[in-house]
Amino acid sequence: MADLVDADGKLLLPSDRTRIAETVAAWVERYVPAAWIEAAPHGRAAIREVRSRAAYEAWYPVFGRSGLVAATWEPEYGGLGLSRAEARSADAVLRPYNLGRLNPLGLGNAAPALFAHGTDAQKLRFLPPIVRNEEFWCQLFSEPGAGSDLASLATRAERDAGGDWLVTGQKVWTTWGFRADFGVLLARTDPDRPKRRGLTYFLLDLRQPGVEVRPLRTMTGEAEFCEVFLERAFVPDAHRVGAVGDGWKVAAATLSGERQMVSGAGSGGVDRIGGSGIAHLLALARRISAEGRPGGWDEPSVRQELMRLYSEERIRAWTNDRVRAGLQAGRPPGPESSIGKVHQGELNQRMQALAAELLGAYGQAWDAAAEADYEDTLPHEVKGMLRSRANTVEGGTSEVNRTILGERVLGLPREPDPWLDSAWRDVPRS
């Protein structure tokens, strides 16, 4: 296999497609640093010891150019055009090396909307840089007065003399907004129409005058969320996705992708929802017992709770596999992703609460230098427990997602809305 990649670094697929796994394994051997490969059999913790975040980000362009980041996407969009089965075969080879996908909000939130509603020009312009992590993305939906009732948002987009758009308003809880180059933006373009029919979906360049990003620090000490202020920020009409007034329909693809991304095991999402999975809890419980401390694996009640959580996490992974299979078959994520969102939000909170409980007194006080940053000294399990409190709110509250499931999956009558057909400007708002 002398020629594994083309001149642009993209993996050359074998003529015999049954040899996909063999080809990917050869790519790993040649392009993944040797120290990472040597650490892989010992687990993710061992990989993290030899691979810093900065080192991974510096190497990531090699991965991004290969096409393996989004292998089922067509080559012109940065993928390899693999079938679902072929992509599973490739992923099985990559999995031991913990090659996480960077730019998760680009891959999980912007891309579904572009695939479902974007023009060919938009897909060719934005998807390849998303795959290569050359342009980092965020989501500009929620506002101080429009969280669970997102359709009531007040950020305005108005046409200028040339037919382009000027956006004014405020967004909040924007994850990684301080890092982002672009954001998917939902704005009101017609206040005289009902709230869901007067919205339009845009792709906003955040590196321009008229955009101010302010980080929001949370109780974990992190500042991953932001508030974003827009004052006549410019958006060319070519960066409008879907028809004017169809933003709610376009946003559905992004929202479903977001719910899938934070749906837990097997979701292919990010690890920012708080804490570690059940494997970490099992290892922690065994270590506590091995050290002779109470409340570990040797106690039947602890084992019972761990097995309950283990079973739920496996069910979560299988359900996510079904959703992911639909995505790989070219179908946008639908209301079924709300099942994963509701289940995982509450499951992760219980899992991280147990992790902190297993620590006992060690989870209530710990040694730290007086000058050390709070975020850096916080035990991993305590940080995960604190971060997980947002799980039932972010990505759509559990209450909203249960309503979606009732109406769109179970077919129950829609929740009454006396203002459903009223113009947005006439609807009472807080």
In contact, 235 and 157? CB cutoff 8 Å? yes
Of 305, 263, 300, 261, give the one whose Cα is nearest residue 281: 305
User: What Å distances lie between residue 415 and 111, 139, 393, 399, 428, CA to CA?
Assistant: 30, 27, 20, 12, 18
Of 248, 258, 230, 254, give the one whose Cα is nearest residue 152: 248
Cα 188 vs. chain centroid, distance in angstroms? 25
225-235 and 165-172 beta bridge pairing: antiparallel
The upper half-sphere exposure of residue 274, i.e. CA atoms within 13 Å in the direction of its Cβ, equals 28
Whole-angstrom distance, CA of residue 130 vs CA of residue 115: 13
Q: Which residues of 89-110 are buried (b: 16+ CB within 10 A; e: fewer)?
A: bbbebbeebbbebbbbbbbbbb
Report which secondary-structure segment, H or E, holds 156: strand 156-159
Contacts of 258 (CB under 8 A, 6+ apart): 108, 109, 139, 395, 396
Count CB atoms within 10 A of the CB of residue 30: 10
291 a catalytic residue? no
143, 227, 258, 336: the catalytic one is: 258
Q: Fill in the amino acid letter for 27.
A: W
Contacts of 22 (CB under 8 A, 6+ apart): 14
Active site residues: 258
